[in-house]
Structure 1
Amino acid sequence: MNTCKIYPHRFLILFSTLILFSLNLSSQVKSPLLSGKEKDALFRNQTQMLETSPYKNDKWQFIGPTNISGRCTDVEAVSPRGKNYTIWVGSAVGGLWKSTNEGTTFQPVFEGMPTASIGDIAIDPVNPDVVWAGTGEANILRSSNAGCGVFKTTDGGKSWSLMGLENTFTIGRIRINPQNTNIVYVAATGHEWTPNEDRGLFKTTDGGKSWTKILYINSNTGVYDLVLDPKDPDVIYCTTWERMRQKWSDPRTYETTTNDGIWKSTDGGKTWKKINEGLPDANKRGRIGIDIAQSNPKVLYAYVDNYEVAVKANPGELDAYGREKSTGIIKGATVYRTDDAGTTWKQVSGLTPDQKKFMQKHSGTYGWVFGQIRVDPQDENTVYTMGLSLNQSTDGGKTFKSLEGPHSDHHGLWIDPANSNYLLDVDDGGLAMSYDKGITWKLPIDVLPLGQFFNLAYDMSVPFRVFGSVQDYGSYYGTVDLGKGRDKISPVEFKSTLGGEGSSHAVNPVDNNTIYASGFYGKLRRATISTFPQNIKDLLPKMMPGEAPLRGQWVAPTLISPHNPDIIYHGMQYVMKSIDRGDTWEFISPDLSYNNPKKRGDISYQTISALDESPLRSGLLYAGTDDGRIWRTKDGGKTWGEIRNGPVPVKFVSRIVASKYDIGTVYMTQTGKRDDDFQVYIWKSTDFGDTWQDISGNIPIGGVNVIREDPANKDILYAGTDGGVFVTKDGGKKWEVLGNLPFSYVLDLAIHPRDNMIIISTHGRGIWVMDANPVNEKDKIKKPDDDDADVQ
C-alpha cells in the first residue's frame, strides 16, 4: 500500500515574494496575438524564414507509427462514373489528404498553410477540381486547434487561396449551391475558448471574394450544421449552439439560453424563422446535427445533444475519466424527425427501454464532440448517427444498431449518392471504407500518418526507443534503428506500452525496462516494458479524509531525478517525491495553483503542468501550473518561492528546463492556446527565476510547447511550436526554422544524448527524427583519445 507524509511546516512562501508578485502582475511587455489575419501574415514570415534558413535542407525523417492513424473530421468523394473514386479526407490536426485511386494511397495536399486543422470540406458539384476547406475543428476537444479561415483550390489541391473568414477559428459546415456554385455558405462555430463576433452563417455570391453574415445571434453562439434543399437551394436549414469551452469544463449549454435550435430560411438567408416545435426546451438543447433526405426534402432528421436528465447520479459516481458526475446522466444523443419540412418535429429514437440503453452506450453523452447525422440519399428511412460508435437505422430512427469494424469516435460520413452501399467513415482512427452498407469494412492499404502524440520520452537501449501517448489510442513506443545510416531510418510499427492517451513517460536510464506513466489526469503507474501489460502497479497515494482529492493535468509531468534513478517526481496540484521508485510518497510542496473554487469543473484544472530538477544540484526544482503560476525551491521542497515576475504573463506553463550548463539558468515556455492567443512566449533566467528575459527573438508565431538545450553546445536551443521547430545558436537572439517539416503541432522535443538525434512528437503527424550533427557538429568535437601522439 502506498503511503504519504505531509509536512505543513514546509509550506513557507516568503512575504516579499508575494509582494513582488503582486507588483508585477500588470508589467507585461507582450500583448496577446488574437487576430486570425495577423496569424496568417506572421505564418507567411515563417515560410520566408524557411527559404533563407541554413537548415532548410536538413532532413526530417518520419519514424511512425505506421500502424496508427489519427482523428479525422470530414470526408468527401467524387463519384467516378467508371473510374476510381477521388477521396478527400480532412484531419483534425494533420491537414488535408487526397487519394485518386480510391483510397489505395493518399497524398497531403494542404502543406504550407497557416494551420493543419480542418473543420469541413466541400467539393464543387460542377467542377471537382474546385474544393473548399474550412479550417478549425468544430469538435473543440482539448486537443483541437484553431483554424485560419476558408481556403479554396481550383486545381485539385495543387495550390490554395485564402478566401477570408480568418477570425472564425472553427468551421462546422460548408455547403455549395448546386445551381450556382459561386454561392457558398459557411457555418462558423467560432472561437473555442473566448467570445468573438465572427460566429454565425456566412454567404458569398462571388466565389469567396466577399462575404456577408446572414445569420448572427451573439458572440457566444455559432452555427454548427447546415443543409440546402436539393430541389430549391434557397431553402436553407441550419443549427445554432450557444457555448464556450472553459479551462475547467467541457462545453455546456447555457441554462438561460434561448438561442439553441434549428432555423429555416426560404429566401437564401435574407430572413429566418425558428423551427423548434417538438424539440426539447432551448436550454436543454446542445449541439445539433441536421441532414435532409435527398429523395424527399420534406423529411429532415435532427441529432440533438439533449440535456434533459435521464438518470440521476449517485453520490460519488464517476464517469469514464474518473471524474465525479455532478447532476446525472443526460439523455444525450436523441434523434428527431420532421415530415413537413421543419414545421413540427417528433422524437424517433430511444422510445423503448432497449433503445434508450443503446443510445446511451453507443452514441453517448458527448454530443458536443460528435453531433453528426446522415440520411441515405436514396432512402429517407435509412439514417446514420455518429458518436462513440457509427450507428445505423433502417426504420426512420426507431431502432439503431452499431456498425462494427471501424475505430471508435466518429466525426464524418460520406454516402455515395449513386450507390448508397458505399460508405466512407472518418473517426479517431482515420478512414474506413465499406462497400456493403457497413456490414464489412476495410482500411486504406497505407495508414494515414496522422498520429496525435502529446509527449515524448526515450531510453538508452541500442537501438534506442521512443515513447509517447496518442490521442484515443493509449501509449506506444517504437525503435529508432540507425544501422542503415543516420539518414536512412525506416518508419516502423509501434507497440503498446504503459500509459493512457494523455501521459508523460519516464524510463529508467539504468535498466531501460522500468517505465512510469499515467492513465487519465495524472493517475501514475509503474510497469516493466518487457512484460507489459502484466505487473502494473498503481502508485498514487490514498488521500486522508478531509483532504482535497489529487488533481492532475491531462499530461501530468513525471520525471526521474538525474541524480538518482530511484527518485521520482510527479506533479499534481502538489509536487510529489518518492525515493523508492514510487512505492511511497512525500508531498514536498503546497498546492501550487491558485486553487480558485469558482474554477472547478469536470476537467482537471489548477494543476502542475511543468516540472524539472536541475541536473547540477539535487533538490533545485522548478514547477509551473496550467493557471499560470511559476515556482522554485532550492532546498528540495522545504521552502518555495513564486517566480512569475516582470514581463511574464499569466499563461499555461508548457515547459520548464533547468540548465545542464549553469546552475542559475532556467528556461521556460508558455502557450496561450487556451486563451485563443498565438503569441510567442519563451523566457530565460540566469538568476534562478528571480528575473526573466524574453528570448523569443524572431520566431513569428506560437504557441510554444517546448524548449530544450543542446547536449553538446550551451548556446544552441531548440523550440517546438504549433507550427514547426526552431533552433538558435546564440542563446535566443536569432532563431532559424529547422528543416523542411510539414506544418506540425510540435508538442515535445528531445535530443538523444548518446546518438545525437533530434526527436519530435507532433500532434497530427506522428514522430520524426533528425540528425543533430549538422546543427551542433558533435561528430567533429575531438575526444581526448583522438589526440595524435606526435602533436607537440
Structure 2
Amino acid sequence: MLNHSLKTAKEWSPAALGGGGYITGLLQHPAESGVLYARCDVAGVFRSLDGGLSWETLNSGLTQSYHHQVQSFAISSHHPEVMFRCSGEVRSRRFYGAVHKSADGGKSWKEVCTGMGFYGNGPTRMYGEVIAVDPYHPEIVAAGGYTGGLWISRDEGETWQQTLLPEERFGCVVFHPAIPDVLFAGTISDDDLNMDYVETGEGGVLGLLQDLPRGKQRRLYTSPDLGESWQLLYEGASFAELGFDSRDPQRLMAACIWGGICSSRDGGRTWESAGAGLLPGGHRYGTVVQDTHNPQRWYTAPDVRPHMKDIPPIPIYYSGDGGEEWQLLRKHLDEDLSGFPAYMDSFNGGSRAAATGWAISKLIVDRLNKDRLYLCNWYGVAFSEDGGNTWRAGHFRGLETTCMEAVAAAPGQPGKFCVTMADHSPKVTEDGGVTFRNLPGLAGYSGSTAVAVSRTNTEHYLYGLVGHGRTACIALSRDGGQTAEAVLTLGKGLFVQSLREDGIRSGTFYAYIDGEISSGAGVYRSADGGQTWSLTSFCLPAHVSTLPHLKNWIEAELLSVVVYQVKNACGADQLMAADPFRAGHVLAGEWSEGIWHSADGGDTWESIGAGLPFQHRGTASILNAVAYSATRSGTLYAGFISEGLWSSTDDGQHWSKLFPADAAEQFNVSALAVGKGDGGKDLLILASEPMVRTKTESKVVCSRDGGITWEIWVDDYLGAVRWKGVALDCDSRQVLAVTCGNGAYRTEISRK
C-alpha cells in the first residue's frame, strides 16, 4: 500500500482554554516591569507582556514530554534575552533531566546539559530556584539537580561541569547579590518531604513518587570562588529559598520548609528562628522575599492546603522590622478579589479567597512599582496594585489549571465540542473553541473524564465525573447544562472511561467503566437517555481482574502525566465506539488484551483483536483508541501506543497496519479522530504525545484519503505537548485538539 508522508506547515490557534497546572515559580524581567515569566509543573514556561493579565506558552524547541515539567528557571540580569530552564521527571525509578537555554527571551530553546535529574512535578517543585546566573559575571551559571549533584557553566550555559559537592537533593542555588564570587546551595532531606504525608504506603510520599531515599541531609553549602571549592556552612535545616538583606551583606533570611523562617547575621554560619507572629504549629514555608523599595519589609506565605483548618484565607504575612516580627497582611474577603474564575469557589467550600491562598509557591515585589505584588499558586498568577490588600487574576487567560482528558464533537452541530479535564467539570464550545461555557459539576466531584451529546436532543448531555477519594459517577443534564444530576453512582475505584450514543438508536447510550471487575467495571447500557443503566454481558478473559488489566503500569507509568497521578489525563474516552451505519454495533477495547465487538447492543460480544500488536516489542504497545469509519460500513480503526494506527475492512476479522508505513517506526496514537474526507474516503487525524518509554515525538498527522497518503502537520512553537484528544466537528471541517497542560488548539480542514 502506498503510504507516504509530506510535511505541511499547519498553524494551530490557541482556543479559549489555556494551559497550565501548578504554577510553581515566577520571574520578572530585569528592566521591563510588565514582562513576567511563570514556570509550571506540567506545562513548561509561560510569559506575560501585560503584567500578568494574559499569558502565552514558551516551549518551542522542546522534544521530550518531561521538558514541559519545569522545576526551575532563571533569567540573566546582564542579557535579559538569555534564559535557562531545568526540567525532568521519574519513570520506573529512573530520573530524567535537562537544562535548556534560550537566547531570544524564551521564544526558542536548546538543550545544553543532561547531567542532572530534575523533578518538575516532584515534592520540591514549589520551592526556590535551583539554577542561577551570577549577577557579576554573565558567563557563570550554576544549577543543582534533584539528582546528579551541582554543576557549573563558565560560558553562559553552553557547556557544564559537575562540582565536587555530594549528590544531594538541592532546594535552592543562589549567588550572593552583594558579594562577588560567592555562591550558596541548600539541600532538602527525605524527612522534610515525607513529614506531612500520611497513608501513602511504604516509603511515604517519596515511595509513592518512585524517589529512592537520598538521606537526611539538611545543609547549606557555600563557595567563595564561583564553585571551584566548597565548604559546609550549616547543617540542620532544609533550605527552600534564601533572601539577602540589602542593608547588610552578612544578614540572610531563609524559608526552611518545616523549620519556618530563619535568619542569619553572620553570612549563613549560624541561624535562629525568625517566625514570631507567623501561624502557630508546623507549616511548610518555601518563599521569603524582601521589598526592594522598603528594605525593612519582608513577605512570606506558608504552603497551606484545603484540609487545613483555622488558616487565614490568603495567608500572606509581612514584617515591617526586617523580619523580627510578622503579622497577617490582611484577612481577605471574596470582595477583595476580582478576575478569578468561578470554579475556584466550588473547590474550596465556596470561598474564592481560600482558593487564592491555597499552595502559594512564590511572592515577588515589582522592582519598578512599589505597590505592586505578585503571587503564584495552584491556579495561576495573581497581582495586587495596592500592596496586597486586593488581588486580581485576569481570569488566568492562557494560564489555567487545565490538564485536559478528552474532547468530543457534538453530532449535527458544526463547531460544537465538549472537553473534559482533571479538576474541572466539562466545558462546551459552540464556536469551535473561541469561547467556552461550563457544564455543571456536582458536590463531591472535581474532574471529568468522558462526555456524550445526544444526536437528536441538543440539550441532553451525559458525562463522567471523578471526585476525591477515587469516586465517580455519570451525570446527566437535560436542560442544556443549566442543571445536572447523578444517574449512576459508582463504587470506589471505578471510573467512566468512555460514553457513546448508539449510532442509529437515539437515546441508547453505552458507558465503559474501568476499575475492579468484581466491583462493577465493564460496559453498561441505558435505553432511556441515560436515566437508568444496566451492566451488559461484556466479559474479559478469566485472568483479567481489573480494567486496565495492567492497571498500575498503564495509568501510573505510561499514560499519566506524572508517575503518581492515577486517573489524571491518562487517555480517557477513546476505547469505545458506536457504528454510524448499524444499530447496536459497538466496539470496546482493553489496553493490553484485545478488542470486542457486539452486534446486538451489548447482549453478546466476540473477540476481534487477533492480529493486532498487543504488547508487541514490550508492554509499551497498548491499545489507546478504537473507532468506526465515517464513510464505509465494516471498516474499523485501532490506535496503539508505540505501534501506530491499524485498520480492518471486514469488521475486525483481519487487520493491517495503516500508519506509519515503516514497520520499524514508532508512533503513539494518543488521540484519533475520524470524519468524512475527499472522494468518499475517511478523513483521519492522529496525534502523538511524546513518552519517555517509547521515545516518540509530539506530532500530528492527517490523511484525507483513508490512510493512503498522509500530511505531517508541523508547528514547532508548541514544543513537546502531550496531546490527549482530537475531534472533528460534524462537518469534518473544524478541529479541536486538547493537551495535558498546554491548553486546547483549533484549526480548520481546507478542502482540496
Identity of aligned residues (%): 14
Distance in 1 separating the partners of 2:614 and 2:622? 14
Q: Which amino acid aligns with 1:355?
A: P
1:86 is displaced (CA, Å) by: 3.2
1:711 equivalent to 2:676? Answer yes
Match of 1:557 among 476, 484, 498: 498
The equivalent of 1:337 in structure 2 is 262
Partner SS state of residue 460, structure 1: coil
Tell me the TM-score normalized by structure 1. 0.67
1:591 equivalent to 2:538? Answer no
Q: Which amino acid aligns with 2:316?
A: Q
- For each residue in 1:343-369, what CA deviation from the matched residue of structure 2 results, as whole angstroms up to 9, or x when unmatched? 5556666999x7349x5xxx7xxx9xx
Alignment of 1:701-780 (within 5 A): 704-712=669-677, 714=681, 716-722=683-689, 723-729=698-704, 735-738=710-713, 740=715, 742-743=717-718, 744-754=721-731, 756-774=733-751, 777=752
Partner SS state of residue 221, structure 2: strand
Match of 2:427 among 462, 476, 484: 476
1:716 is displaced (CA, Å) by: 4.0
The equivalent of 1:310 in structure 2 is none
The equivalent of 1:13 in structure 2 is none
1:262 equivalent to 2:219? Answer yes
1:182 is displaced (CA, Å) by: 0.8
Gaps in structure 2 of 5+ consecutive residues: 121-128, 306-312, 341-355, 516-520, 540-544, 557-562, 690-697
Distance in 2 separating the partners of 1:683 and 1:766? 25
Relative to structure 1, the CA distance from residue 442 to residue 256 in structure 2 (aligned partners, 3 Å threshold; closer, same or farther) is closer
CA contact (8 A) 2:424 2:448 kept: no
The equivalent of 2:456 in structure 1 is 510
1:230 equivalent to 2:177? Answer yes
1:478 is displaced (CA, Å) by: 2.0
The equivalent of 2:438 in structure 1 is 495
Distance in 2 separating the partners of 1:116 and 1:417? 28
Q: Which amino acid aligns with 1:438?
A: G
CA contact (8 A) 1:383 1:392 kept: yes
Relative to structure 1, the CA distance from residue 500 to residue 273 in structure 2 (aligned partners, 3 Å threshold; closer, same or farther) is same
CA contact (8 A) 2:588 2:597 kept: yes
Tell me the TM-score normalized by structure 2. 0.70
Distance in 1 separating the partners of 2:636 and 2:411? 26
Q: Which amino acid aligns with 1:501?
A: G
1:658 equivalent to 2:627? Answer yes
Partner SS state of residue 523, structure 1: strand
1:696 equivalent to 2:660? Answer yes
CA RMSD, aligned part only? 4.7
CA contact (8 A) 1:568 1:582 kept: no
Distance in 2 separating the partners of 1:477 and 1:146? 37
Relative to structure 1, the CA distance from residue 507 to residue 249 in structure 2 (aligned partners, 3 Å threshold; closer, same or farther) is farther
The equivalent of 1:484 in structure 2 is none
1:593 is displaced (CA, Å) by: 3.7
1:469 is displaced (CA, Å) by: 2.9
Relative to structure 1, the CA distance from residue 409 to residue 507 in structure 2 (aligned partners, 3 Å threshold; closer, same or farther) is farther
Distance in 2 separating the partners of 1:517 and 1:385? 35
Match of 1:526 among 475, 494, 517: 475
Distance in 2 separating the partners of 1:602 and 1:70? 15
- For each residue in 1:411-464, what CA deviation from the matched residue of structure 2 results, as whole angstroms up to 9, or x when unmatched? 443323566643223334433222333212233599236654322123236454
The equivalent of 1:201 in structure 2 is 150
CA contact (8 A) 1:684 1:695 kept: yes
1:566 equivalent to 2:505? Answer no
CA contact (8 A) 2:233 2:269 kept: yes
CA contact (8 A) 1:276 1:344 kept: yes
The equivalent of 1:291 in structure 2 is 242
Distance in 2 separating the partners of 1:541 and 1:90? 37
Distance in 2 separating the partners of 1:446 and 1:255? 36
Distance in 1 separating the partners of 2:144 and 2:299? 25
- For each residue in 1:75-120, what CA deviation from the matched residue of structure 2 results, as whole angstroms up to 9, or x when unmatched? 222354xx75433334555554445554566665553543555443
The equivalent of 2:254 in structure 1 is 301
The equivalent of 2:345 in structure 1 is none
CA contact (8 A) 2:684 2:706 kept: yes
Match of 1:440 among 375, 387, 390: 390
Distance in 2 separating the partners of 1:655 and 1:96? 29
CA contact (8 A) 2:359 2:377 kept: yes
Match of 1:392 among 297, 302, 316: 316
- For each residue in 1:312-366, what CA deviation from the matched residue of structure 2 results, as whole angstroms up to 9, or x when unmatched? xxxxxxxxxxxxxxxxxxxxxx6242425555556666999x7349x5xxx7xxx
CA contact (8 A) 1:456 1:761 kept: yes
- For each residue in 1:390-416, what CA deviation from the matched residue of structure 2 results, as whole angstroms up to 9, or x when unmatched? 632225586656767464544443323
| Count of residue pairs the alignment pairs up | 632
- For each residue in 1:469-496, what CA deviation from the matched residue of structure 2 results, as whole angstroms up to 9, or x when unmatched? 3454443222216xxxxxxxx8225334
Match of 1:427 among 377, 388, 396: 377
CA contact (8 A) 1:121 1:131 kept: no
Q: Which amino acid aligns with 2:501?
A: I
Partner SS state of residue 707, structure 1: strand
1:177 is displaced (CA, Å) by: 1.1
Q: Which amino acid aligns with 2:113?
A: G
Greater shift after overlay, 467-476 or 606-615?
Answer: 606-615
Distance in 2 separating the partners of 1:569 and 1:526? 12
CA contact (8 A) 2:222 2:233 kept: no
CA contact (8 A) 1:217 1:259 kept: no
Distance in 2 separating the partners of 1:619 and 1:347? 69
- For each residue in 1:700-746, what CA deviation from the matched residue of structure 2 results, as whole angstroms up to 9, or x when unmatched? 88654212333345454211123342113566576422364741432
1:124 is displaced (CA, Å) by: 1.4
The equivalent of 2:559 in structure 1 is none
CA contact (8 A) 1:227 1:237 kept: yes
Distance in 1 separating the partners of 2:476 and 2:534? 17
Distance in 2 separating the partners of 1:591 and 1:559? 21
